[in-house]
Amino acid sequence: MQTESARPSDGLARWMDHPLAYVGAAGLLVMMFATVLSTLGNTLFSRPIPDIVTIDEVLMAFLVFLPLAGVQLRRDHIEVGIATDWLPARHIASLRIFGCAVSLLAFGLLFTGLALGAWEAWVDNDLYSGEYEFPSWPARAIAALGVLGFLVRLAVDAVQTFRLRRSAPQAAAGPTDKP
């Protein structure tokens, strides 16, 4: 099987997977600094950052959903290899295609719910309650964008794995392409 650096989807990784992960990492930095500043403000001046819980909740959409495509690119999701490591490469590829198909279905439903939720929040002008009223639709849209990126990466991986499976010898056994 091809290694990550030789995959034909490197262009996709450059313009979609990596930027989504970088924005997610930036969200983590903002969350860390805001939490530290709020804690210091509360400790030193008895005045935390207003609505820090809401801010952290919004930033959580960046942390959870945006890096999904990058994690799939590196195949860093949790997998249990004890049941599959002994299988021939063709069968492992078949299981990966099946996993991608199931994930496409499940995350496609999640994307639909997130996108509709973002749209309804925008139309209804839904706001987080607190000292400041933040609109809720941006966090929902960010979550939907992250899941959409993941869906694109899953589809690309399924097609690539299918092509590799067709060209792999029937009796070939060996480790997966994960380092």
Give the pLDDT confidence of 39-57 residue by residue, as tens digits.
999 999 999 999 999 999 8
Per-residue burial over 105-140, b if 16 or more Cβ lie within 10 Å, else e, is: eebeebbeebbebbeebeeeebebeeeeebebbebb
- Give residue 174's pLDDT band: very low, low, confident or very high (50, 70, 90): very low
Of 42, 7, 24, whose CA–CA distance to 147 is shortest?
A: 24
Residue 88's identity, in one-letter code, is: P
CB 93 within 8 A of CB 169: no
- Give residue 171's pLDDT band: very low, low, confident or very high (50, 70, 90): very low
Q: What pTM was estimated for this model as a whole?
A: 0.82
State the average pLDDT over residues 22-39: 95
Residue ranges per structural domain of the chain: 4-77+85-167
Specify the DSSP class assigned to residue 130.
S
